[in-house]
Amino acid sequence: MEQFYQLGWTLDSAGGASGEAYMAEQDGQKLFLKRNSNPFIAALSAEGIVPKLVWTKRIETGEVVTAQHWKNGRELEADEMNQHRVAHLLKKIHQSRPLLTMLKRMEMEPITPEIMLNKINASLSSDVLTHHIIRHALTYLESHVPEYDSRFYTVVHGDVNHNNWLLSDKNELFLVDWEGAMIADPAIDIGMLLYNYVPKNEWSSWFDIYEVKETMNLKKRMKWYTVIQSIGMVQWNEEHKRFKDMNTWLKFLHAVMKSDVFI
């Protein structure tokens, strides 16, 4: 990012796991810069899902840098995730034809349950497999692979954690960090959001807001995807030696497995 310093910009790290995001400021103008950002960002900007894209540039290293309007704001709190506007924005994403068309143009192949299951089985360490709940969950996944016509697959964010929802000081809501975007079953996002943030007795109301029919098939898919994503989070935290977070995900996984035991 040396050339931006040379052009008179002040850069400060904007956080993020990759360390490739910055707040750039010059003459009172603030931009959010990111290296190697997903090219999907232009379509997301056009749909108002993320802050507006200002420009995209290829720098001397060959890396691509994107600049978006800087938004003063904050992440959503966990207890704000059951707000109507969260459901409305997620529905907008899942129903967007332009976003789906863009991912298809990028030659992205749909991610099926079988692909996810093969990937998780190949990724688990021997230490993670020592946990009884992990082995029990894997048995569940093998015997309950969900059925859903891939023709109905949508754009899926893949990490709807409350830290990825940005509320600007002008009350605009955005969903950011699209590195894991895929074409897949929307139940991937719905399941993790509901199991993590919405009390069970409010699920029916949430489905009404999102405007989807509450069916047994949907609930089965939600649980299956929540289980497999939770296993992935256990593995990720174990790899990064974040054992407290790993244990939190193990407890969450155990709770999900105990929930809806007949699904």
CB of 206 within 8 A of CB of 82?
A: yes
DSSP for 130-165, written as a single string: GSHHHHHHHHHHHH------GGG-EEE-S---GGGE
Is residue 27 part of the annotated active site? The answer reads no
Question: Of 178, 183, 192, 184, whose CA–CA distance to 223 is shortest?
Answer: 192
CA distances from 135 to 120, 212, 250 (A): 12, 33, 12
Sorted by sequence, the CB contacts under 8 Å of residue 30 that are 6+ apart come out as 23, 24, 70
Sorted by sequence, the CB contacts under 8 Å of residue 72 that are 6+ apart come out as 168, 169
| 57 vs 252: CA distance, rounded Å | 42
Residue among 79, 159, 177, 208 flagged as catalytic: 159
Please report which residue ranges of the chain form alpha helices under DSSP H: 2-6, 41-46, 84-94, 97-105, 113-123, 132-143, 187-197, 203-210, 216-239, 243-258
Q: Would you give the DSSP letter of residue 43?
A: H
The token pair at 236 is 């990720």
Catalytic residues: 159
